[in-house]
Amino acid sequence: MRSFYLATHKEAEARLSRKVPDLSETRHELDVLGTKIIKALAKRKQYPYNPKAKMEFAGIRPEIVELYLPMLKLLCKAGSETSEESARIDLEILALLQKRILKAYDAAAYKKLHKMKISDGAREKLVLENAVNDAKEFGINPEIGRAIMKIIIENTKKLEERIF
């Protein structure tokens, strides 16, 4: 994961050098991506835990898998069976996670520019509540939805801290 932090830190610095988007717009985009992730995970839960996505062909950084695998273990039953559909869904989720992490840099850039703290307890609570509601809507155990979003938030904060 360290190499991912270093690589994404360089990308974050590049993002910081351009115009910083409005925080409310960025947060809305993060919320939309969060819902898309939960929805895609709902499709993925019917398949056993056995990720087989070919990430290198889809432009997904291999280190994103370190973020994804704990979520998949929470969601799926053990098994060795896999399918092209589960691999396609894995790629979809990995791409969404990568987009969300990179979009979080926009939020971090705004926070740095305006001397705000990385952590925002009220915002995190809202994001977790949204994940619970999305999980219910898409047929995932709400506590698993919360745990998955908690993993995303904690890893995103680690990346944001490198900017500060």
**Count of other CB atoms within 10 angstroms of residue 54:** 10
Kindly state the helix (H) or strand (E) to which residue 59 belongs, with its residue range: none
**Count of other CB atoms within 10 angstroms of residue 147:** 17
- Cα–Cα distances (Å) from 134 to 36, 117, 148, in that order, read 9, 27, 12
pLDDT category at 46 given cuts 50, 70, 90 is: confident
Q: Give the separation between CA 38 and CA 93, rounded to whole angstroms.
A: 9
Alpha-helix runs per DSSP H in 1-63? 2-16, 23-44
For 57-66, 96-105, 119-128, 149-158, which range has the lowest pLDDT when averaged over its residues?
57-66
Task: Give the pLDDT score at 37.
Answer: 94
Q: Give the separation between CA 72 and CA 35, rounded to whole angstroms.
A: 16
Task: Look at residue 108 and give its three-state secondary structure.
Answer: helix
Mean pLDDT, rounded, for 145-154: 93
